[in-house]
Amino acid sequence: MKKLIICSLFTTVSLFLLIACGKKKDDAQEEKVYRVEGTITVDGRERTFLLNLPPTYYTGSGFSLVIAMHGGGGSATQFETSSRLTQKANTENFIVVYPEGVKSTGPLGARTWNAGTCCDFAVTNNINDVKFIAQLIDKLVADYKINPKKVYATGHSNGGMMSYRLACELSNKIAAIAPNASTMVVTQPCNPVRAVPILHMHSVLDEHVPYNGGTGNGISGVYAPPVDSVLDVWSSKNACATKAQVVVNNSSYQFTQWVNCSNSTLIHYYLTKDGGHAWPGGLPGSLNGDTPSKAINANDLLWNFFKQYQLP
């Protein structure tokens, strides 16, 4: 009897250890990843991006994707830090990806986007950044739980310019855009296949990309068309029946909108009277960067704007 009890006890302990070991193995296999530093190859060139998944990713589905593009000379990690967009994405449960422009071969290795006439290395070498973003969207939609109808683009400076180019050439993949401290500098006719909702943010103190047009001190002598004229062009493309209306004009900012547009599309324009060439509500983009506006918060505005829209 004593021998039988000992054997039974040994068997029970062995089973417990086996189950415990098996459980640890399963837990390791189910390790959840929320941050991805990825690459894809486009036209024989390796392109890089940083992806952030929200805390609810593994229990949810049908997530929105925001494509956030850094300014000229910036990077994915730099723009993530200065914009604080990841914190907003984690709170509001959307996916954000920070793609990177190509790095120049010069001593600074500055990354830029080919938005048309700007900027630098990407333009000089005719980098097809539209193709890069199109393939990146396809990859992320295939690999992650993203609703393909809820893909949006935003960006600062050169990245904002790239947002406008995407609105012109990828309106079948991008539901809305929110450029900051930028303008539209496309060199080919802008022919979106549908009306594109636009939220533009700028500061009257921006000397790099002047809101009223001209050659700023940060884009290598490239002429920047006035923001008003750019948005007037888009109001025509979006078939807006109502001209620009100033809704708010106080000591902090001016808010202008174009309404009664095709497919209930809106165009919003926030012009702050503080800040400079920086992400409103964020951090300076560099040690010598301009102080961001405190009059508005770019992340709050863009997300409230984006979530109103999806592709048909």
pLDDT on residue 6: 37
Average pLDDT over residues 89-99: 98
Say which residue, 30 or 85, is predicted with more confidence.
Answer: 85
pLDDT on residue 218: 67
Q: Is the pLDDT of residue 1 over 50?
A: no
Average pLDDT over residues 10-26: 40
- pLDDT, tens only, 34-62: 999 999 999 999 999 999 999 999 999 99
* Cα–Cα nearest to 153, from 141, 164, 142: 164
3-state secondary structure (DSSP) of residue 136: helix
Say which residue, 311 or 8, is predicted with more confidence.
Answer: 311
- pLDDT, tens only, 238-257: 999 999 999 999 999 999 99
pLDDT on residue 216: 85
pLDDT on residue 222: 87
Angle between helices 298-306 and 85-92 (to 10 degrees): 40
Q: What's the predicted TM-score (pTM) here?
A: 0.90
> Can you name the CATH fold of 33-306?
Rossmann fold (3.40.50)
C-alpha–C-alpha distance, residues 226 and 240, integer Å: 19
pLDDT on residue 131: 98
**CB burial class (10 A; 0-12, 13-18, 19+) of residue 224?**
buried
Average pLDDT over residues 174-189: 97
- pLDDT, tens only, 199-223: 999 999 999 999 999 998 866 678 9
* Cα–Cα nearest to 111, from 123, 125, 121: 121
Output the average pLDDT for the chain.
91
pLDDT on residue 30: 62
Percent of the chain with pLDDT over 70: 89
Q: Is the pLDDT of residue 266 over 80?
A: yes
